[in-house]
């Protein structure tokens, strides 16, 4: 029997596409919303470091009537940030190159499905990634490992899995799912400051083709 292929799961924003989603502004708006329902239980500076999904959960706990407004706020920032998204340099060649080598490819994003699919289609990336999992399908967002587990189920048999992403939430999700994390981009120090230890770190997607995936 043939050995099943490795599975490489990509993050979306600032890994496959350069989007302009202002995640700090989203956190700020959610903290404002939380504060509109009563005094903050934690200092604002602490809350600004909390994953967006956890801020929504805190709003749900203290002011459930504001949950819909929280998601609407997030979607508005996402739509604005994705409007002019561009492909990360070399993404087409790298995805095609990994596929040609027999890798199975997937996408896991905390973004909504509709916006993700629109950008994938507009940029001609949809055909290069067979499995896409968005926040519409996952029981809990990254850094929770649930999305990785769902991707692994949907991707079929594979030998080993790895998550490629630019943010600490990607690295922490990978660690919690007990899979490798390959960091990408300029934020290595910030990611490692969160206690995330990448298996490898690349600054150019083409370096993925040179990694020793069997190591
Ligand atoms: Mg990202």
Domain boundaries, the chain: 7-19+85-210, 23-82
Calculate how far, in angstroms, residue 185's C-alpha sits from the geometric centre of ligand 1.
10
Look at residue 200 and tell me whether its pLDDT is greater than 90: yes
pLDDT tens readout for residues 137-177: 999 999 999 999 999 999 999 989 999 999 999 999 999 99
Calculate how far, in angstroms, residue 40's C-alpha sits from the geometric centre of ligand 1.
28
Given phi > 0 = left and psi -120 to 50 = alpha, else beta, which region is 38?
Answer: left
Mean pLDDT to the nearest integer, 60-78: 95
Mean pLDDT to the nearest integer, 56-73: 95
DSSP 8-state symbol, 4: P
Q: How far apart are CA 88 and CA 93, in angstroms?
A: 11
pLDDT of residue 71: 95
Calculate how far, in angstroms, residue 34's C-alpha sits from the geometric centre of ligand 1.
25
Mean pLDDT to the nearest integer, 79-94: 94
CATH fold for domain 7-19+85-210: Rossmann fold (3.40.50)
Mean pLDDT over each residue of the chain, to the nearest integer: 95
pLDDT of residue 209: 96
Q: How far is CA 60 from CA 69, 74, 152, 214, in A?
A: 11, 14, 30, 44
pLDDT of residue 1: 54
């Amino acid at each position: 029997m043939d050995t099943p292929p490795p599975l490489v799961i990509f993050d979306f924003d600032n890994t496959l596409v350069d989007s302009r989603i202002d995640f700090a502004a989203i956190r700020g708006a959610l903290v404002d919303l939380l504060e509109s329902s009563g005094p903050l239980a934690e200092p604002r500076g602490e809350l600004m470091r909390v994953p967006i999904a956890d801020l929504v959960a805190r709003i749900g706990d203290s002011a459930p009537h504001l949950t819909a407004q929280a998601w609407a706020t997030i979607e508005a920032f996402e739509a604005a940030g994705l409007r002019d998204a561009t492909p990360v340099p070399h993404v087409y060649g790298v995805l095609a190159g990994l596929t040609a080598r027999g890798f199975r490819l997937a996408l896991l994003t905390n973004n909504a499905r509709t916006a993700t699919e629109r950008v994938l289609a507009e940029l001609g990336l949809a055909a290069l990634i067979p499995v896409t999992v968005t926040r519409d399908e996952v029981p809990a967002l990254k850094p929770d490992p649930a999305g990785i587990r769902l991707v692994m189920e949907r991707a079929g048999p594979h030998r080993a899995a790895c998550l490629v992403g630019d943010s600490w939430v990607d690295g922490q999700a990978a660690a919690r799912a007990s899979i490798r994390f390959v960091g990408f981009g300029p934020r290595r120090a910030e990611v490692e400051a969160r206690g995330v230890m990448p298996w490898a770190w690349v600054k150019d997607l083409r370096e993925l083709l040179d990694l020793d995936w069997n190591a």
